[in-house]
Structure 1
């Protein structure tokens, strides 16, 4: 049994049949059973299952393996700078400094060749 199917059992209380789960999720019983036995759930399935059982779709995607824990944590924080750690802010600052410090290609050429490229 995969981590995702174990998670499904956990969120359903372990007392629902595949048919009951499929109905609640809005999937046919045959499709759900096939995906269960073949461990063939995809991201859209994970999201639908999470929503049907009032769980976070992000949690479902992490359990499925579509997102990493780090990605999920970043998604939960959103875009507020105050929610990022000092290390994360420092790493982004360093990345930006390194990016801006790159020498443009035209500066590696003799002036007359660079002028031709610019004009």
Structure 2
């Protein structure tokens, strides 16, 4: 496992020696060599090397045996999705519908029960003089529709 990490680092650094890598992160070459020879290379050291050489920390973690490639792909997809705006997600959903590749859950009409639940919640909120959770969620949205003012007439929702 450790040899895989060592091979990975030497390849990813274009063959840099332990001394060159250690110098680049402000460590002695003997300390780096000992850490790389151990089955427990510190994450801080690996992180410093990745930043110094522009190496993917995820790829280095796979090489170190900390995570599998499947685990990395799964977490990577979740991280990327979390950083995508609601507007971009909506555009992607519409693109899939237009291309005919959307799932039936997306293309089937919303169940009448769901629609009625939403309408009941909105009406209850109006009767109690408050805004519904749907309106509050819309207020939290930071995306702005191009050409719009993000202050649409949803006050009663």
Q: Same fold (TM over 0.5)?
A: yes
Contact preservation (8 Å) 1:47, 1:61: no
Q: CA deviation at 1:40?
A: 4.4
Residue 31 of structure 2 corresponds to residue 28 of structure 1: no
Q: CA deviation at 1:38?
A: 4.1
The aligned counterpart of 2:9 is 8
Q: CA deviation at 1:39?
A: 5.2
TM-score if structure 2 supplies the norm length?
0.45
- For 1:12 and 1:79, the matched residues in 2 are separated by 26
Runs of at least 5 residues in structure 1 that lack an aligned partner in the other structure: 83-119
Contact preservation (8 Å) 2:10, 2:17: no
Q: CA deviation at 1:23?
A: 1.0
After superposing on structure 2, the runs of 4+ consecutive aligned residues of structure 1 that deviate more than 6 Å are none
Aligned residue pairs total 83
Question: Counterparts of 1:59-98 in structure 2 under 5 Å?
Answer: 59-77=59-77, 78=79, 80=81
Runs of at least 5 residues in structure 2 that lack an aligned partner in the other structure: 83-88, 90-157
TM-score if structure 1 supplies the norm length?
0.57
| CA-to-aligned-CA distance 1:31-51 (integer Å, 9 cap, x gap) | 012223445423222222111
- For 1:79 and 1:19, the matched residues in 2 are separated by 35
For the pair shown, the structure with the greater C-alpha radius of gyration is 2
CA-atom RMSD in angstroms: 2.6
Contact preservation (8 Å) 2:13, 2:53: yes
Stretch deviating more after TM superposition (41-50 or 66-75): 41-50
- For 1:80 and 1:49, the matched residues in 2 are separated by 27
Contact preservation (8 Å) 1:46, 1:64: no
